[in-house]
Amino acid sequence: MVVLQEDHLAIREVLQIINAASTPYRGAGIAPGGPTFSLALPLPQDYSNLSGIQGLAAEHVRTHASGVSYTAPLAPGAHRVEYTYALPLRSRVSTLLLPRVLDTAALSILVEDTRLEATSDLPFGGRVPFESQTFLHFRGTALTAQSRSWVQLLRRTGTDPLLRLGAYGLVIGLACLGLAVPFYERWRHREPQETQRPLSVAQRQDLSTSKQRLLQSIARLDEQHEAGMIAESAYQQQRQAEKTRLLALEQQLQREPVQDGSAGTPNRQLSQKKRKRRG
């Protein structure tokens, strides 16, 4: 079972191992005169945090870079072995190699469907619900020893970047509107003050360009945080600063642009009338 957790994969393996003989299985020596092991359970390269090993006597379990081995004889009958470990999801793609040292009657792999896409050389068995989640199910049968299967994983990218940028803009716009309402009410009841000089068309275009760059910066920051490329504290601090700058731009853009025209401004027209009277 494979689940995505932040920047790594959490993997749980459950094995049903059967010793069909009537006597304990002792295995073979790793080297002449070396220790023997009854089970060798390979794990993918770069695994970490191996824990929760169940079904085996702890004093006979050995862990190493290539996986887990069991040095005690394996009693006749069925044995259920379970353990968990983590695996990095590098460059958003990981390929799990699953070497088999024993004949395998059936192999099922469940991959979380919410945030992961998966392909495999094993037949696809559809989607199955488990523990309140939906998983992609790959299953193979009658798999021989000394053979491998692969499952390639890719992080789901979600919506199109342009759509995501538009969604960010809408959310931030609504948030800015909610913040602006109290200021607007206060402005309506303010004391008469000198009229603020309006923005020119060029100034308004510059502010609009800066606003779009801020929206793109926030979108890139969210993608980096989702991919685990930036720490939570730095992400929150930087995102708040970007939102503050965006709110200031929104307030500046509320000012009306200057209207261009040959007639000039009202003050200029009034001056022209006064000069005609004096003449």
Within 10 A of 179 (CB to CB), how many other CB atoms are there? 13
| Contact between residue 92 and residue 152 where contact means Cβ atoms under 8 Å apart | no
Give tens-digit pLDDT for 208-253: 888 888 888 888 888 888 887 778 888 888 888 888 888 887 877 7
Residue 1 makes CB contacts below 8 A (sequence gap 6+) with 11, 12, 13, 14, 109, 110, 130, 135
Tokens 């919506």 correspond to what residue?
A: 159
Tokens 């619900």 correspond to what residue?
A: 129
Please give the span between the terminal C-alpha atoms of the chain, in angstroms, as a whole number. Answer: 94
CA 188 from chain centre, in angstroms, equals 45
Separation between Cα atoms, residue 227 and residue 73, nearest integer Å: 45
Tokens 């993918």 correspond to what residue?
A: 44
Domains and CATH numbers, the chain: 2-155 (2.60.40), 161-190+199-253 (no CATH)
Tell which wins on pLDDT, 193 or 215. 215
Percentage of the chain beyond pLDDT 90 is: 4
Separation between Cα atoms, residue 179 and residue 177, nearest integer Å: 5
Separation between Cα atoms, residue 81 and residue 99, nearest integer Å: 17
Confidence band of 32 (pLDDT split at 50, 70, 90) = low
Question: Quick one: pLDDT at residue 84?
Answer: 92
Question: Quick one: pLDDT at residue 166?
Answer: 58
Tokens 């695996």 correspond to what residue?
A: 87
Task: Pull the structure tokens for residue 72.
Answer: 């005690």
Question: Quick one: pLDDT at residue 201?
Answer: 78
Separation between Cα atoms, residue 256 and residue 266, nearest integer Å: 16
Question: Quick one: pLDDT at residue 223?
Answer: 84
Is the pLDDT at 192 greater than 70, yes or no? Answer: no
Kindly report the pTM of this predicted structure: 0.52
| Contact between residue 257 and residue 201 where contact means Cβ atoms under 8 Å apart | yes
Residue 185 makes CB contacts below 8 A (sequence gap 6+) with none
Tell which wins on pLDDT, 242 or 262. 242
Tell which wins on pLDDT, 266 or 195. 195
| Contact between residue 84 and residue 52 where contact means Cβ atoms under 8 Å apart | yes
C-alpha radius of gyration, the chain, whole number: 33
Separation between Cα atoms, residue 26 and residue 22, nearest integer Å: 12
Question: Quick one: pLDDT at residue 104?
Answer: 87
Separation between Cα atoms, residue 256 and residue 204, nearest integer Å: 9
The size of the chain, in residues, is: 279
